[in-house]
Amino acid sequence: MRKIINILSICTIILMALSLSLKAEDNDKSKILNSSSLGDWDKAKKIKKSGKISLQAWDPYIEYAKTVPDSSVKDAMLQNKNKLNIEYDEIWIWERNDLFTSAERRKFRGQFDIHKLYWKNNKVQAFTLEKYYISNPVTKKKVGKHKITQVWDRDSILREISK
């Protein structure tokens, strides 16, 4: 009987340790889902896909941002790095159309801001914001595509959600 009790105690300890480690691994996700600073990610499309990517803000946007007196535009870009190289195993994609009416959603379909969170082993790796540009803000040449305007590394994201 004592042997069974010891085995059950050991199993209980192992299960508690596993439970705590799973909560620790999922900590970034729960922090982001419970934080309002990065928006409401509950409805984001979640894609299980592994890969490597090099993230960089669009050069014409960087040039344009330097001319804008509002410092918040410059502060949001990836600081002190030209590129952020990451590995990921999951991407959350959120097309930011929640501020528009149904008619506006139909009219501007495909032109809304796209927010992406990149994950590796349930830990956030990067956040990007892609805005739709009709033309290059520097040359005025037609573009008609989404371009990355903000790249946040893991440390920046964790600082933002802890505010």
Q: What confidence tens digit (pLDDT) does each residue in 51-110 have? A: 999 999 898 988 888 787 765 665 555 554 678 999 999 999 999 877 778 888 788 888
Residue where the block lists tokens 């930011």: 96
Residue 21, SS3? helix
Query: Residues 63-79, buried b or exposed e (16+ Cβ, 10 A)?
Result: ebbeeeeeeebeebbbe
- Contact call for residues 79 and 151 (beta carbons, < 8 A): no
Please determine, for residue 11, whether its predicted confidence score (pLDDT) is greater than 50.
Answer: no
Please determine, for residue 50, whether its predicted confidence score (pLDDT) is greater than 60.
Answer: yes
- Contact call for residues 56 and 84 (beta carbons, < 8 A): yes
CA count, 13 A, side-chain hemisphere, 65: 17
Residue 51, SS3? strand
pTM, two decimals, is 0.76
